[in-house]
Amino acid sequence: MKKIVLLIASSILFVGDALAFNAFGHQSIAALADKYLSDNAKKEVKAILKTDMVKASTWLNTLRKKQGLTHTNGWHTTTLDANGKSTTMAENDGIVQLEKSIAVLRDRANQSDSLVQASLRTVIHLVGDLHCISHIYIDGNEPTKGFTYKTWNELTAEGKGFYCSKTYDTSWYKLWENKFAGRYTLFTPQYYGDDIDIFANEKKAEYEKGTPRFWVENVGEDVLRALETFQPGKVVPAQMNERQEPVHNRCMAKAAYRLAALLNDIFK
């Protein structure tokens, strides 16, 4: 355990460049997770953070911007093997760092207050990151690491079928990290979280089961399905982009439900 603690203590202040969802997306996941915390978990989380989960959810990215520290870029992503299984033990991988932070929280009675707080902030952020489709890489499948594709507006003119307006380049990252959550920035994180909850709540009990490794494998399945539509250089009608919004919202809901379930277990 000492080795794990030292590894986290020495690197917890360094974060990566990648931004899963966006700041508002992270805040909305945290708001929805907070809604499902047990009374004890809510009390413990607030006491450790000295703030609320919504404000703490972007800590890693905020620290990166202030400190300019980027040597742990891989913390915000994870790599599955060619069969879609999470087997990595690489130090610079998000699932490994998430597991280490969880271990600190479970052993919090023997850890410093500062390390426990940093670990909780890390867990809140990384559960969100690792539910963003563009942050799940699959070994041997290069498109999962990001690519550019083309999209165009498919508009209907009565009696004239379809026609193409300007075709433009966009990216796998922009689609999953900014496009959908970016539409809701006039909402509060709580309101957006509630909106996602309405969409996915009937499957909450199913989604919150499993371990972090299972969770990222589950998102990996969504990655492979999405890649049936999106490929490097492919021209994709704008309407096909829009059809991915339920996938995006489902991933956010899973992140929130699973984060709440995890914290309820840690702080039971």
The stretch 3-26 carries a mean pLDDT of 51
pLDDT of residue 238: 83
- Whether the pLDDT of residue 107 is over 80: the answer is yes
pTM of the model: 0.88
Q: Three-state SS across 231-251? A: CCCCEEEHHHHHCCHHHHHHH
**Phi-psi label, residue 137: left if phi above 0, alpha if psi -120 to 50, beta otherwise:** beta
pLDDT recorded at residue 43? 97
Residue among 38, 16, 47 at smallest CA distance from 120: 47
What pLDDT, on the 0 to 100 scale, is given for residue 175?
93
| Whole-number percent of the chain with pLDDT over 70 | 84
Q: What is the pLDDT of residue 18?
A: 45
Q: How far apart are CA 209 and CA 68, in angstroms?
A: 36
Which of 18-22, 37-41, 242-246 has the largest mean confidence? 37-41
| Number of Cβ within a 10 Å radius of residue 156 | 9
- What integer is the mean pLDDT of 188-199? 96
Q: Are 104 and 116 contacting, i.e. CB atoms less than 8 angstroms apart? A: yes
Q: What is the pLDDT of residues 204-257, one digit of tens each?
A: 999 999 999 999 999 999 999 999 999 998 989 888 888 999 999 999 999 999
- pLDDT band, residue 38 (cuts 50/70/90): very high
Distance CA 265, CA 233 (A): 44
Q: What is the pLDDT of residue 155?
A: 58
pLDDT tens readout for residues 54-83: 999 998 887 766 665 566 577 899 999 999
Q: Are 13 and 240 in contact (CB under 8 A)?
A: no
What is the residue-averaged pLDDT of the chain?
87
Mind listing the pLDDT tens digit for each residue in 127-161?
Answer: 999 999 999 999 999 999 999 999 887 655 554 55
Binning pLDDT at 50, 70 and 90, where does residue 168 land? confident
Stronger pLDDT, 253 or 14, i.e. the higher one? 253
> What percent of the chain is modeled with pLDDT above 90?
71
Q: What is the pLDDT of residue 14?
A: 31
CA-closest candidate to residue 216, choices 124, 134, 130, 142: 130
Quote the tokens at residue 241: 């982009």
* pLDDT of amino acid 103: 98
Question: Could you tell me the pLDDT band of residue 169, with boundaries at 50, 70 and 90?
Answer: confident
Give the chain's domains with CATH numbers. 2-266 (1.10.575.10)
